[in-house]
Every structure is written in C-alpha cells, then in structure tokens.
Structure 1
Amino acid sequence: MTDEQAVLVDVANGVMTVTLNRPKAKNAVNKAVAVAVAAAMDELDSNDAIRVGIITGAGGTFCAGMDLKAFVTGELPIVEGRGFAGLVEAPPQKPLIAAVEGFALAGGLEVMISCDLVVAADNAKFGIPEVKRGLAAAAGGLVRLPRQIPPRVAMELALTGDFMDVERAIQVGLINRAVPAGTALAGAQALAATIVANGPLAVKLSKQVIAESGEWSAQEMWQKQQEIVMPIFTSEDAIEGATAFAEKRAPNWKGK
C-alpha cells in the first residue's frame, strides 16, 4: 500500500470523511497517516463548504495506535504543530466526530478523544495499554482523558492498560452514542447531518467556548464567553435564522 492510500478523504453534503486506511496494520498510525490527517484537518478548517469532519477506520477497526514497527526504526508519527496523528495537539476548529468500529486503543483512543463527539459500534473496545509495552499514553491519554471522564477511571485505564467496553464507556461519558456493529459511520453521518443543518458560525463558536472554558475562572467566564459569541448575535446568519423560523422554511446560511 502506498503512502497516498494510507488515508482516504471524501467530501459530500458539507461533511468530510477521513478514513484511516491501513486495515492490515489495524490502521496503526505511521508518519504518512499523520501527514495526511494533518492536511485533511487544514482543509476542513479552511474550506467554508465543509462544515463537519468525521474520522473513522477501514476494515472494522478504528485505530490500534502508533505503528510500533515504524517506531522502532526511529519514525515518529507526529506533525509539527498538530502532534501525534496530525491531530491530537491541535484539533480542528470545526466539529469532528469519531466513528468507531472495533478497537480504539492507545494512540487510537487518543485520536478518538481529540474529537468532539463519538459514535461507536456496540462491540467496540477502548483503552490506553501503553504501559503494557513500557510506554506512556502521552498523546492525550494522560492529560485529555481525565478531563473527559472521571479522573479515577482514567487513572485505572492508564495504570492497568485494561480495556473498556461500550456499556462502561457510555456510563462514564467517554462516547456519545452506541450503534449496532457495522453502522458507526452511518451513525456519525446522521449526527453530522444534524449539525450541518445548523448555523455554521454558531456551531464553530459554540465549540470554541466549550473547548476553552474549562480553563476559565468563575470571575472571567462570562466576559470571555461574550467576547467569543457576540459576533453570532450581530451576524447575517442570526437574522436569517430568525427570519426563516418566522417564514417556516429552512435557513440559507452564509456562515457570517
């Protein structure tokens, strides 16, 4: 398989679908995958015609993590400014949905938790088993995961390397929706379509507030929120949304 085929990118109906396409390697991330994903994320953010991204894996597996065979040769699947897999240190500004079939492990879980929403097959498994290989989950498993699920649960995953099933993942808030095996991408596409129907500026800035507000103090949160969201209320889309509601029609969004 050539490097160009390691990641497939498709755009339809305002949704970009990025497919990790190394099924024989359980979609393990090598340098080529990282570079291609980073390029896709750049396109997602810069192209106004694309409103939502989906990342998934080919062959019934989301991602088994870093390509260890490449790692032992000295290759690091990192892109400067984006981090591991061309994603984890700088997720896109627009919504990104993970569609998970099979395993999301190690770096694969870290890619998943870099996304805003997760739709997973009901037989999926999740974990950060790096400690079992003498490694650490340094691409978000140790710092981002405890902010998304209870810290003691994250600690257990990090120290034991054990897997979590879908039922537990739902309980602790690791994923949004569980769907029948084989339908994770369809479920993510349905979720994406719901988002695409909304005002793009409102969606983008709402994501920004939620993503950044965890670092804000109680004293500053209202001011910082207003600084971000005020452009929404004076936008053309706000007028169009209200007008469309009154006229009982679908809005014609401009994203400004």
Structure 2
Amino acid sequence: MGEFCTIERDGHLLTVTINRPAAMNALHPPANFELHDAFDAFAADPDLWVAIITGAGDRAFSTGNDLVFQAKGGAIEIPPSGFGGLTNRFDLTKPVIAAVNGFAMGGGFEIALACDLIVASENAVFALPEPRVGLAALAGGMHRLPRQIGQKAAMGMLLTGRRVPAAEGKDLGFVNEVVPEGEALAGARRWAEMILECAPSSIRATKESAMRGLEQPGLEAAMMGNYPEVGRLFMSKNFREGPRAFAEKRKPVWTGD
C-alpha cells in the first residue's frame, strides 16, 4: 500500500486504486510516480496477468491533473510511463481494465482511454475539458479518442470539452459496459475473470498484435508484421497445454510463461 494508491493482489489479478478521494482522485507528481511504480511492478511480475485501475470512493475515478496543487506553485512532473503511470506505457502487453466510478475528467479520462477495457457505473461522466481552462489533453486524449470512436464524434468532445455520461460513452464506443452505480469494480472483475480463463501468453500476443497492427498502413502489413509475443506464444507451455486439455476434456492449467 502506498500513500496515494492502494494495491490488492488476488491470484493473477492486480487491482490498483487511486486513493485521493478528498481531491476527487486528482493526481499530483507523488501520486503519478506511485502509479508508475505500481504498473512497473505489474509489468515485471510473471504471476500477474491482468490489472484493474479504479478510484477510491464513488464520486470520481480521477479528475485528472491536480490543478489546486499546480495553482499553489507545485511543479508538473510526469513519469516516463505517462500520466497515472499508463498513458505512455506503449510496451505493456498485459491487459488493463478501467473501473470508472463517477467523474473521469481530463487526465483521468486519458488514463481510462489508455486501458484496454472501460467498465463504467451509471453515474460515470467523461470529459476532456482542458481547453476550458487554457490547457490541452496532452496525455494521449487528443490521439486516442479519434482512433477509438472516430473523428467526428471525437472532435465533438475535444473541441467543446463537454461532459459525456456513461450511456453515451457506450453508444460512442469507448465504454464496454455500463453497470449500476457502485458496481464498476465488480463489473471490471467479471471481465478480468473472463480474460483469466484464457492463456496469458495468448492474451499478450493478441493485445500486442492488435495494438501494433493499428500502426501499420494496411491490413496486409498488419498481418505480416513481426510481433515478439506471437513468437513467445509458439514457444510457451500453454501452446501445448491448451490443445491437450481440450482433447482430454478438462480445464487447462495455464502458466505465466
């Protein structure tokens, strides 16, 4: 447990909770660096296969950069892995799920967009309001949002800073599931359990291929790309265990290799 975030391990699942509820889980440099360390440890641990990030309390997932801290003269410092330790973490092949409870504003929304799945409670609200305070969504929001929901829908949010409720977020396509208020974390755990039923080597290969493939100019280039996790998949114990378990009509026993 850190000062500004809490860590919970449950088998192969890691849950990271931003723990600044009095500040609506806004992040200042010490919190950003704690999250950086938490996700560094997640990336390096072969026994951790999926992570969930959420916010303490029911008012906010995260309202982004701590503007009060900044207004008082606090320095803006971001770790190499980006805001919340996630927005610049382009080499992470393990899945991360955002459990959004309440406001996900500015950098908080950018953390959620950097995750692979978003599960939102009915009271969740998303926005990139930086232009309204003379700033810009520089932690990936301006680039991830158009890629995830299309140009026109994204520009409608980016150029106005308007607030989007969870139901509209699902309609737009950046929210995977809307759950009753107070159940975002439980919903995220359900998705995590479904992922954990799959071979972790297959999940890593799938995420890497899908994300890196989007960088290619066309379908053929994406399919012919070189993805290291795919090579590791063929060498893994799981590559043999899966077919064997299917033939023996039993549940596979996956390893983290």
TM range, smaller chain: over 0.9
Q: CA deviation at 1:232?
A: 2.1
**Is the counterpart of residue 51 in structure 1 residue 52 in structure 2?**
no
CA contact (8 A) 2:49 2:256 kept: no
Find out whether 1:137 has 2:129 as its counterpart.
Answer: no
Shift of 1:141: 1.3
CA distance in 2, matches of 1:77, 1:57: 21
Q: CA contact under 8 A between 2:101 and 2:121: conserved in structure 1?
A: yes
State the one-letter code of the partner of 1:69: V
- Does the 8 A contact of 1:33 with 1:77 survive in 2? no
**Amino acid of the structure 2 residue aligned with 1:166:** A
- Cα deviation digits, residues 226-246 of structure 1 (max 9, x gap): 665244234321110011111
User: 1:85-119: CA deviations, max 9, x gaps?
Assistant: 22211153210000001110111000100100010
1:24 match: secondary structure: helix
Gaps of 5+ in 1: none
CA displacement at 1:74 relative to structure 2: 3.7
TM-score (normalised: structure 2): 0.93
* TM-score normalised by structure 1 residue count: 0.94
For residues 109-148 of structure 1, what are the structure 2 equivalents within 5 Å?
109-148=109-148
In 2, Cα distance between the equivalents of 1:118 and 1:167? 12
Q: 1:103 & 1:125 partners in 2: Cα distance?
A: 5
Amino acid in structure 1 at the alignment position of 2:209: V
TM-fit CA distance, 1:249: 1.3
How many percent of aligned residue pairs carry the same amino acid?
Answer: 38
Q: Over the residues paired in the alignment, what is the CA RMSD in angstroms?
A: 1.6
Mark the runs of 5 or more structure 2 residues left unpaired by the alignment: none
2:227 and 2:54 mapped to 1: Cα distance? 34
Show the counterpart of 1:212. Answer: 212
Q: What secondary structure, in the 3-state scheme, does the structure 1 residue paired with 2:8 have? A: strand
Measured against aligned partners, the alpha-carbon deviations of 1:11-61 in whole angstroms (never above 9, x if no partner) come to 112111000000010000111111111111111111111110000000111
Structure 1 segments (4+ residues) deviating >4 Å: 225-228
Aligned residues, how many? 253
* 1:23 maps to 2:24: no
Q: 1:47 to 1:234 in 2, by over 3 A?
A: closer
Match of 1:32 among 30, 33, 38: 30
